[in-house]
Amino acid sequence: MPELPEVETVCRTLNELIAGKEIDRVSVKLPRIIQRPADPDLFEVQLAGRTFRSVERRGKFLRLLLDGLVLVSHLRMEGRYGLYKQEEPLEPHTHVIFHFTDGTELRYKDVRQFGTMHLFRAGDELASAPLNKLGIEPLDEAFTLEAFKRALGKRSTKIKPLLLNQEVIVGLGNIYVDEALHEAGVHPETEANLLKPAELERLHAAIVRTLSAAVEAGGSSIKSYVNGQGEMGMFQHRLRAYGRTGEPCDQCGSLIEKSVVGGRGTHVCPTCQKLRGKSSTGNKSSDASGTNAVKRRLDGKTGKR
Ligand SMILES: [Zn+2]
């Protein structure tokens, strides 16, 4: 499952690939991907003749802006976009194709078929599902320490599931929550309303730093991608806690432990992240991982007509 940094990188790459391209027609091969309008034929009709202006991100959703319309796209587990020449053979699991007037095609591939697309009149998308209930953007200037505290409220929920709740803060998934909690020295099962001011401050800073660093890493991986190295997946930058079960903590040398918190595999340093007052349990569960990518297939000859 892509998290904010991966979606941000897909967003930037996609913007580079399709901004300015005019849609000749659209082919929907798997109607269930299209959640709105209810009739996928209408989806095809409404998009014909429109031009992609830019691609933006809201939480883990892509917002593809066209003249007068906005396409809201979520990649879920394995959705990916790629730009192809129209004569290139269609790969399996290609479900939606945007045929451009310049002879290229944006193809949406999704092996698991969990991805979604919603089409709105521009401006309507923010007041309707799926974007209307999303919480604060952690990389916006508006994400101040005060805004973070307000978003958490006085809830007695454990901090990890609260940070994963997209209605509170958007974009954080299992990997970056574990990373931020480790950096802040906060145990994932700490009740949110019991966090001390210093812990809230460290956690706020850790969320911003962790996500920013990952976006940077993604930015640098775009270059190798454009050079034809193939698909990009989750970033290979160094992780502090996530996926490092049994390895020594960088800060104290204790071995990273894995448990389950709120149904999610969770990586904790038992020394740096003490749970006050309680002892935590240690269940095993499998790692989650995801590979979602924008694929560049045109060897640099993309874009401008
Ligand atoms: Zn440690």
SS3 readout for the chain = CCCHHHHHHHHHHHHHHHCCCEEEEEEECCHHHEEECCCHHHHHHHHCCCEEEEEEEECCEEEEEECCEEEEEECCCCCEEEEEECCCCCCCCEEEEEEECCCEEEEEECCCCCCEEEEEECCHHHHCCCCCCCCECCCCCCCCHHHHHHHHCCCCCEHHHHHHCCCCECCCCHHHHHHHHHHHCCCCCCEHHHCCHHHHHHHHHHHHHHHHHHHHHHHHHHHHHHHHHCCCCCCCCCCCCCCCCCCECCCCCCECEEEEECCEEEEECCCCCCCCCCCCCCCCCCCCCCCCCEEECCCCCCCCC
Does residue 291 have a pLDDT over 60?
Answer: no
Does residue 177 have a pLDDT over 50?
Answer: yes
Q: According to the annotation, is 237 in a ligand binding site?
A: no
**pLDDT above 90 covers what percent of the chain?**
70
Q: Mean pLDDT across the stretch 183-189?
A: 98
Segment 15-45, tens digit of pLDDT: 999 999 999 999 999 999 999 999 999 999 9
Span from the CA of 3 to the centroid of ligand 1 (angstroms): 24
Domain boundary among 106, 133, 160: 133
The answer to whether residue 287 sits within a structural domain is no
Respond yes or no on whether the N-terminal peptide bond of residue 130 is cis (omega within 30° of 0).
Answer: yes
Q: Mean pLDDT across the stretch 190-203?
A: 97
Q: Mean pLDDT across the stretch 210-215?
A: 88
Domain boundary among 75, 108, 133: 133
Do 95 and 188 share a domain, yes or no? no
pLDDT at 79: 87
Calpha distance 166→273 (Å, rounded): 24
Span from the CA of 183 to the centroid of ligand 1 (angstroms): 9
The answer to whether residue 19 sits within a structural domain is yes
Q: Mean pLDDT across the stretch 230-250?
A: 75
Does residue 246 have a pLDDT over 80?
Answer: yes
CATH number at residue 179: 1.10.8.50
CATH number at residue 20: 3.20.190.10
Do 63 and 116 share a domain, yes or no? yes
| 296 Ramachandran zone, left/alpha/beta (phi>0; psi -120 to 50) | beta
pLDDT at 286: 38
Q: Which residues contact 31 (CB under 8 A, 6 or more apart)?
A: 40
Segment 78-110, tens digit of pLDDT: 888 889 999 999 999 999 999 999 999 999 999
Do 109 and 212 share a domain, yes or no? no
Span from the CA of 242 to the centroid of ligand 1 (angstroms): 13
Domain boundary among 133, 167, 193: 133
The answer to whether residue 138 sits within a structural domain is no
Greater model confidence, 72 or 10:
72
Q: Which residues are catalytic?
A: 2-3, 60, 264
The answer to whether residue 191 sits within a structural domain is yes
Total of domains in the chain: 2
pLDDT at 197: 96
The answer to whether residue 278 sits within a structural domain is no
Q: Mean pLDDT across the stretch 279-301?
A: 38
Categorize the per-residue pLDDT at 77 as very low, low, confident or very high, splitting at 50, 70 and 90. confident
Greater model confidence, 2 or 183:
183
Span from the CA of 70 to the centroid of ligand 1 (angstroms): 45
Span from the CA of 271 to the centroid of ligand 1 (angstroms): 5
Calpha distance 138→204 (Å, rounded): 9
pLDDT at 298: 37
Do 33 and 128 share a domain, yes or no? yes
**Residue 44, domain extent:** 4-133
The structure's pTM equals 0.81
Q: What angle do CA 70, 301, 65 make, to 5 degrees?
A: 5
Do 67 and 185 share a domain, yes or no? no
Do 126 and 167 share a domain, yes or no? no
Do 56 and 175 share a domain, yes or no? no
Q: Mean pLDDT across the stretch 55-67?
A: 95
Q: According to the annotation, is 155 in a ligand binding site?
A: yes
The answer to whether residue 299 sits within a structural domain is no
Greater model confidence, 153 or 1:
153
Do 36 and 119 share a domain, yes or no? yes
Does residue 220 have a pLDDT over 70?
Answer: no
pLDDT at 1: 66
The answer to whether residue 181 sits within a structural domain is yes
Q: Which residues contact 227 (CB under 8 A, 6 or more apart)?
A: none
Do 117 and 77 share a domain, yes or no? yes
**pLDDT above 70 covers what percent of the chain?**
84
Span from the CA of 4 to the centroid of ligand 1 (angstroms): 26
Span from the CA of 249 to the centroid of ligand 1 (angstroms): 5
Do 115 and 149 share a domain, yes or no? no
Q: Mean pLDDT across the stretch 251-272?
A: 96
Q: According to the annotation, is 112 in a ligand binding site?
A: yes
Q: Which segment of 122-131, 188-197, 237-246, 265-274 scores lowest on mean pLDDT?
A: 237-246
| 230 Ramachandran zone, left/alpha/beta (phi>0; psi -120 to 50) | left
pLDDT at 259: 96
Do 167 and 262 share a domain, yes or no? yes
Does residue 122 have a pLDDT over 80?
Answer: yes
Do 154 and 128 share a domain, yes or no? no
The answer to whether residue 285 sits within a structural domain is no
Does residue 221 have a pLDDT over 80?
Answer: no
